[in-house]
A = this chain, B = another copy of it.
Amino acid sequence: MAAKKKAKKKVAKKKTTSTRRTKKEAPKNAFYAQSGGVTSVINASAAGVIETARNNKNKIGKVYAGRNGIIGALTEDLIDTSKESASAIKALRHTPAGAFGSCRYKLKSLEANRREYERLIEVFEAHNIGYFFYNGGGDSADTCHKVSMLSEKMGYPVQAIHVPKTVDNDLPITDNCPGFGSVAKYIAVSTREASFDVQSMAKTSTKVFVLEVMGRHAGWIAAAGGLASSEDTEIPIVILFPEVKFDQKKFLAKVDNMVKKHGYCSVVVSEGVQWPDGRFLAESDRKDAFGHAQLGGAATVIAEMVGNELGHKNHWAVADYLQRAARHIASKTDVDMAYAMGKASVQLAIKGHNAVMPTVDRISNKPFKWKVGMAPLSKVANVEKMMPKNFITTDGFGITKKCRDYMLPLIKGEDYPPYKDGLPKYVRLKNVAVPKKLKKFSV
């Protein structure tokens, strides 16, 4: 019985191969997956991929999406995006988070778990997938790179294109990462608004407002808080960057000076700020699926410190997911870039590129101009882009003009979603499963 089954399988395989040979023109399908923490514009990249593929049906067959990211590929849980209407795909452009589900699942090294990489190729082969579009950050770029290399070795070459995404803005080569501009806009707008609030209350009540923002290793998001203050709307803001070791004495003196001078002060603190000995301000024992320490609580540490040491009444907020999901106040520049990265990925694939990532290349600041570029994944994977030193003021608590000139174009423009009954109308896809062809595989 077992032998019979095996024989049957062999025949089926042969048939597939011959079919592929005879129908030389039948285009390969594409696989698209979202990876890691989602953003308010990652679905705009998805829209870019799917719409561009639909416009090139002679080159690319169907676009299959991984349900819950790469896990969907491993478990052969594929979503047939061709079942979605044009208007649903269009609505992805204004819908935050990951429409197909994302995951925090990092493929181990090839040596440690070759089985997973082989399974990916097996699934790709079974569904005639010739293109792998992986929408994520640094870890995903690495996976993408490995898939490209291994698929060639295994005799089923897949063109792997990494679609850049991360609110952390820490991918190298590209001018910025889609997702960052919108979180930056959210933080800048929120800091400005809350600062107006504190200023109103400062005479008898709250004098210091503390906002905790994301950014484990790099202070890009914290820096965006500095944009809240501009030439025509000056606001006293103290920024705590993960790049600058926390100096409590200097910090308290800075805040106290600001309160004395302006009557109030806002503090934007990155979740990744560390004490001089390297411990996080917000250290906890919890770890995420990638083994990174899970943070949260820097704001309370800072607020208590300001209250106890300076005696200033304070309020604190932790933006957490609100900041990266806030599609309602997304940056138009960011949405445009996210879409463009998705579109460019498909165009690069069609041109025959492999193991690359489209990039945002800045041409000029005034007026802001940019074009789509390209970077090899070998130079992207596992490289973390930190804030340049000259983006932080010499006292370590603010942003320089260089930083401002870099960031302002990224938060420019509004791109409001449609509303119904006072709420943004975000799309939920049907997410119809592609029939499975392979044996079960556990992750």
Contacts and interface: CB of A to CB of B under 8 A. Distances in A.
Interface of A: 34, 37-38, 40, 68-69, 71, 95-99, 101-105, 185, 188-190, 192-194, 196-206, 209, 211, 227-228, 230, 232-233, 286, 288-289, 296-297, 299-300, 307, 313, 315-322, 324-329, 331, 333, 408, 410-414, 416, 419-424, 426, 428
Contacts of A297: 300
21 contacts: A38-B197, A38-B200, A68-B204, A97-B199, A102-B201, A103-B201, A104-B204, A104-B205, A105-B204, A185-B422, A188-B423, A189-B328, A190-B326, A192-B426, A193-B326, A197-B321, A204-B289, A211-B322, A232-B420, A315-B321, A412-B421
B328 A103 contact: no
B416 A411 contact: no
Given A103-B203, A204-B71, A286-B307, A197 B233 contact: no
Contacts of A313: 288
A391 to B, nearest CB: 17
Nearest to A188: B423
Given A189-B424, A329-B329, A414-B416, A203 B321 contact: no
B315 A320 contact: yes
Contacts of A196: 95-97, 325, 426
A193 B316 contact: no
Nearest to A98: B200
Contacts of A424: 189, 192-193
